Chains A and B, each alone.
Chain A
Amino acid sequence: MLELLAIGFQEIFHPYPLLLIFLGTIGGVVVGLIPGFTVTMGAALVLPLTFGMSSIEGLCAMIGVFVGGMAGGQISGILIGIPGTPSSVATVFDGFPMAKKGEPGRALAIGTWSSFFGGLFSAAVLIFFTPPLANVALKFGPWELFSLVLFGLTVIASLSGKSLTKGIISGLLGLLAAMFGADPMTGVPRFNFGLHGLSGGFSFLPVLIGLFAFSQLMTTLEKKDKVSQALILNAKLTWSNFQVIVDIFRRTTNLLRSSMIGVFIGALPGAGSSISNLLAYDQTVKASKRPEQFGTGIPDGIIASESANNATCGGSLTPTIALGIPGDAVSAIMMGALILHGIQPGPLLIVNHPKLVYGVFVAFVLAHFCMLAVMLYGIHAFVRLTRIPIYVLFPSILALCAVGSFMIHNRFFDIWVLFIFGVLGYLMEKFKIPLTPMILGVILGPMAESNFTQALMTDSRLTLFLTRPISLFFILLSVFSVVYPFLRFYYNRPKQKTSG
């Protein structure tokens, strides 16, 4: 392991990858701090730019965006009271009151250092748990791989929104979108409708940008008059790093518990940091001897939320690298980056590309140090960015979306794909159909179909999906994830009074 980590260091410690981590972190913080923009959108926009880089360089940039974005969301949350990203919602509960009490700098510093420690905790999990998990996955046959994909899709469908049915519809639409073009096993053209552009199917990147970036931008435009500019400008952003670190380590139990929640939620496909920060905050309140103090501006609330959301990053990367099943939308985009560079994600990734994998581990750790420096020393500059009006950002980013979609395959058809999936993504958001299952369906569709077909070509008995123990385990988990919302509804419904 140490030897492999040393190889990872060698991959990363060159000026260009280090610069990309740094720039990616800055980009992530910028995206994270602007309310309405998400880390997923930032990652989707950066992805096309990585095409001209090597795979490790591209991943360095994206990891920087991921880590920076998770931490950046707290800035507007603490200073304006509007979380920059869904992963910082709970940070507002105590961060904004602390800022209003005259300590915005202290709130930001607590959040930043908590993000740093939570992220390093998840980095340890990522480094030590990914290789053994991948070793287990190497024993998987096509039955197990298909069942694993099925599990990933059903869990995401059940966790991504309030309606399981809508989540399943979204995942199935993603699987269907992946089938356009040609059958992966036989090459038979499928669903082309005579269009030359469809002969290669829908390219993953414009679908991704359309669903996550384009539709998200349109949603931002709905609220263009409502973005608050009531920034706490006059309060000085000052703090003592030593005192902040002492404050955090006086609450070590909170830090560890919240980080573990973040890692666990991150590893669960589809759950993500938007859930982990709230869950960690909730658990911290419940575990506290003074729960009435939460919401008044105490450090505990900020520590819980921010350590959990950055811990989610490492948690979500673990199944992404070990199994080829992304833990959240941003990890799905990183998988897309690998696919763009001709590298097949999955259990064999660590075997075939150890330098890449351990380089990612090292980059992930370094990104947290970059994030710490960028946030602590760049905060005054970042605060000014919250003033950029929507009418400037919106058309510019739309144009960049079009450019990003075009540049991978140099196909104009991909810009139309961006538009179509942008409209579809926006309508799905309006009708509360979650987007994450769909993008996972698009990414995992070919893997699901080819393993399903391979399994049946090897042995035509469908019962093997149930008689092979690991496959059965994943299928049972899939069934449980589908049944669980109904069980929860049944047990939580108000009991009817019976007449005497």
Chain B
Amino acid sequence: MKAEKLIGVIIIAFSAFMYYQADRLPPPKFGTLGAAVFPKIVLTLLMLAGGSLILQNFLKGRRAAKAPETLRTQKITSINQVLGQYQWVILAFFCFFAYVLLMDFAGYAISTFIFIPTLMWLIGPRTKSSLAVIAVTTMAMTFGVYYGFKTLFNVFLPAGRLF
């Protein structure tokens, strides 16, 4: 439930920031309808929706506080719990982030050649037979995709800033 209050606060803060940005847009040269009108309407509604979420959560909290003990559910109370529960997802996000960073500099082929076996090894079974699977998948996704897209779709995948 605290999460919903946090979402509401983030929505309101973000909307307020974007509203300020919209306010800085140049006024229209003709008439009253400029580039800022529609964004301001949407951002106002977004702030109201964020406020509504906080209010609903506050009212739910008051009802839950009055409820018998058995109705209360267990909550995640620590960062360690979150990290434990979502460790693979967090790891995958970091790996993908590093993959994209590397791709920007080294290009698709090199970055994918590193990314695919690394992530497969981290999340998969670490056995001898899986090594063969990793090798085949890496070759297919690196060279197979690169040349496939080049010849079939005439699309040249990122070459990287270094090349």
- List residues of A whose CB falls within 8 A of some B CB: 49, 51-52, 165-166, 168-169, 172-173, 175-176, 179, 183, 185-186, 188, 190-191, 218, 221-222, 224, 389-392, 394-396, 398-400, 402-403, 406-407, 410, 412, 415-416, 419, 422-423, 426, 431, 433, 448-449, 452-453, 456-457, 460
Contact B25–A391 (Cβ < 8 Å): no
Cα A183 to Cα B149 with chains together (Å)? 34
**Is B64 interfacial (CB-CB < 8 Å)?**
no
Beyond A186-B34, A399-B115, A407-B153, whether A218 also contacts B21 by CB under 8 A is no
Contact B46–A173 (Cβ < 8 Å): yes
Q: Residue on A with the closest CB to B56?
A: A165
Kindly list chain B residues whose C-beta atoms are within 8 Å of the C-beta of A390: 123
- 9 closest Cβ contacts across the A-B interface? A391-B124, A183-B35, A188-B35, A395-B119, A449-B38, A407-B155, A172-B46, A52-B153, A169-B49
A493 to chain B, nearest CB (A): 12
B59 to chain A, nearest CB (A): 12
Cα A263 to Cα B83 with chains together (Å)? 43
Cα A394 to Cα B141 with chains together (Å)? 12
Q: Which of A179, A221, A407, A431 contacts B92 (CB 8 A)?
A: A221
Kindly list chain A residues whose C-beta atoms are within 8 Å of the C-beta of B56: 165
Kindly list chain A residues whose C-beta atoms are within 8 Å of the C-beta of B25: 188, 190
- List residues of B whose CB falls within 8 A of some A CB: 3-4, 7, 11, 18, 21-22, 25-26, 28, 31-35, 37-39, 42-43, 45-46, 49-50, 52-53, 56, 85-86, 88-89, 92-93, 96-97, 99-100, 103-104, 108, 112, 115-116, 119-120, 123-125, 130, 133, 137, 140-141, 145, 149, 152-158
Q: Residue on A with the closest CB to B117?
A: A395
Kindly list chain B residues whose C-beta atoms are within 8 Å of the C-beta of A165: 49, 52-53, 56
Q: Which of B22, B93, B103 contacts A402 (CB 8 A)?
A: B103
Contact A396–B137 (Cβ < 8 Å): yes
Contact A403–B89 (Cβ < 8 Å): no
B57 to chain A, nearest CB (A): 10
Contact B96–A457 (Cβ < 8 Å): no
Contact A392–B103 (Cβ < 8 Å): no
Given A191-B39, A426-B89, 5 more pairs with CB closer than 8 A:
A166-B53, A168-B45, A179-B42, A395-B116, A419-B97
B118 to chain A, nearest CB (A): 8
Q: Which of A166, A191, A407, A449 contacts B149 (CB 8 A)?
A: A407
A-B contact pairs, 5 of them (CB 8 A): A169-B11, A221-B123, A395-B137, A419-B96, A452-B38
Contact A191–B93 (Cβ < 8 Å): no
Beyond A191-B18, A191-B21, A399-B141, whether A431 also contacts B124 by CB under 8 A is no
Q: Which of B33, B93, B123, B141 contacts A423 (CB 8 A)?
A: B93
Cα A173 to Cα B10 with chains together (Å)? 13
Q: Residue on B with the closest CB to A218?
A: B89
Kindly list chain A residues whose C-beta atoms are within 8 Å of the C-beta of B50: 169
Q: Which of B43, B130, B158 contacts A406 (CB 8 A)?
A: B158
A329 to chain B, nearest CB (A): 21
Q: Which of A52, A166, A169, A190 contacts B35 (CB 8 A)?
A: A190
Cα A457 to Cα B34 with chains together (Å)? 11
Cα A449 to Cα B37 with chains together (Å)? 9
Contact B42–A172 (Cβ < 8 Å): yes
Cα A52 to Cα B34 with chains together (Å)? 37
Q: Considering residues A391, A410, A422, A456, which has the most beta carbons from chain B within 10 angstroms of its beta carbon?
A: A391
Beyond A403-B149, A407-B149, A416-B100, whether A190 also contacts B39 by CB under 8 A is yes
A156 to chain B, nearest CB (A): 15
A413 to chain B, nearest CB (A): 10
Contact A453–B38 (Cβ < 8 Å): yes
Kindly list chain B residues whose C-beta atoms are within 8 Å of the C-beta of A175: 42
Contact B116–A188 (Cβ < 8 Å): no
